[in-house]
Structure formats: C-alpha cells, structure tokens
Amino acid sequence: MSHFNASALVLYSGGQDSATCLAWALDRYDTVETIGFSYGQRHVVELECREKFREALKRQYPQWAHKLGQDHLLDLSLLGQISDTALTQEKEIEMKQSGLPNTFVPGRNLLFLTFAAAVAYRRQLKMIVGGMCETDYSGYPDCRDDTIKALQVALSLGLDTRLVLETPLMWIDKAQTWQLAENLGGSALVSLIEEETHTCYLGDRQHRHAWGYGCNNCPACELRRIGHARYKGV
C-alpha cells in the first residue's frame, strides 16, 4: 500500500540490499525508478541480475508492476580507473593499514548519490533510496548515517531543492534485511532474492548456496550467509 503520494529513485545494483530497498520503495511510493552504475566492478555480473530481478518483480507482484518506472544505467568507468581496490582490480581482499578493507572504493557512494540526485532533479523525484547500512557494514565510511545526512544537506543546497536520502537498512542487520524482504513480499520475495540477486565481490555465479550464489568466502558472502542462517534460525 502506498503511504505517500510521491515518487522515488532507488540506487539499485542488483544485489540483495538494493533489491530489498526496491521492494520497500514499491510498497511505499506511487512511482519508483531505478538507477545503477557500471564502474569497472569485478562483480559486473550484478548488472546482469538487475533487469532479471526487475522483470521477475513485475511478473510476481502485479500490485507493484504499474509502479515500476524507468531504469537508468550510468557509465562511471572513470571511478574504476582511478581506484586501486579489490572491487575494481584483480587483487586479494585484505585489510589495509588504515583499518579499512581494500574493497572500499573511495568516493563511490558519494558519487553514486550525487549522480542519482542529478537524475532525480531532472526526473522531478524527491526521494532517493539507498541500501547503505551502518549496523553490519564492512567498515565503509560512506555508508555511515552521518555521511548520508551531510550529503542530503549538501545536495539539497546545491540543487536548490529539497531531496530526501532514505536508507531503510541503516539500523538493521543482514538477518533483519532478509526478514524485511519476507515482510514486504512473503517467502516468494525471499526466494527471488536468493536466486536472482548477486552480492559476491568476486562475481561467482557458479556456486549456489541456500542464501544464493557466491564464492562463500569474501566479506559480502560471509555477511549474506550468516544473516541468512540467523534469519532461518539455523
């Protein structure tokens, strides 16, 4: 059921968190558009999952189908070219001396939200929804609530219009994210996320686990696996 007569733009990568946020927005708003980014990520297979999941949502949830609007896929390959990270280059995933994992892509969420705001401005969308989470994230400073709030102020000032950056996963862990998907779309949505989304940093779509596809070793797979087990009560 729509709670607000408003439209939203969802940062939608093709992964579990953004897919859950997409369902959350479809349940909440009248019109929902999506935006994704190709930035030279190793797990580029997530971009292939985006349209499959969108189409499956429209088939399985007719109450949402008419709400799902245009998809925008932006080329931010320059970000991959200037980054020296395990997400954009073939290197081992490890912790750096700074205390951050080398999967941290400096400026990624800042750029994503800035470009999303530019698209939202053109499309007259006031709500921007992202899957940033401070509860069980991988130590990324651009996922912090303070970062998002500060950027919301900067973008609203810079565009001279009020934009709202919504982060429905900010204060919940991965098990609760699985539960949120069930609350929104039942077990069918959970199954759809298991099968059609992609979160593994290494882009592994060969190995299928109870929680979905992945290498089962990278930090993204570990979070997803542990959260799924807790959600299932295993």
List, for residues 178-214, the tens digit of each pLDDT value.
999 999 999 999 999 999 999 898 889 999 999 999 9
Domain ranges of the chain: 7-232
Instruction: Compute CA distances 100 → 94, 107, 137, 148, whole Å.
Output: 9, 14, 11, 19
Domain at 7-232, CATH homologous superfamily: HUPs (3.40.50.620)
What is the average pLDDT value for the chain, to the nearest integer?
A: 87
Q: Are strands 31-38 and 208-209 parallel, antiparallel or unpaired?
A: unpaired
Q: Which residue has the higher pLDDT, 24 or 99?
A: 24
Read off the amino acid at residue 15. Answer: G
Percentage of the chain modeled with pLDDT above 70: 83
Sheet of 7-11, strands arranged across: 68-75, 31-38, 7-11, 127-129, 164-166
Q: Confirm if 158 and 114 have CB atoms less than 8 A apart.
A: no
Query: Is residue 67 very low, low, confident or very high in pLDDT (cuts 50, 70, 90)?
Result: very high
Question: How far from chain centre, in Å, is Cα 82?
Answer: 22
Q: Compute the distance between CA of residue 7 and CA of residue 31 in angstroms, rounded to an integer.
A: 5
Q: Confirm if 10 and 129 have CB atoms less than 8 A apart.
A: yes
* Structure tokens belonging to residue 53: 């999941």
Instruction: Compute CA distances 171 → 131, 140, 215, whole Å.
Output: 11, 15, 27
Q: Confirm if 6 and 30 have CB atoms less than 8 A apart.
A: yes
Q: Compute the distance between CA of residue 158 and CA of residue 120 in angstroms, rounded to an integer.
A: 13
In this prediction, residues 212-234 reach a mean pLDDT of 92
**Per-residue model confidence (pLDDT) at position 198:** 92
**Per-residue model confidence (pLDDT) at position 54:** 96
- φ, ψ at 208 (rounded to 5°): -100, 130
Q: How many residues does the chain have?
A: 234
Q: Compute the distance between CA of residue 49 and CA of residue 137 in angstroms, rounded to an integer.
A: 22
Q: Compute the distance between CA of residue 27 and CA of residue 52 in angstroms, rounded to an integer.
A: 19
pLDDT, tens only, 94-153:
455 555 554 555 678 888 999 999 999 999 999 999 999 987 655 678 888 999 999 999
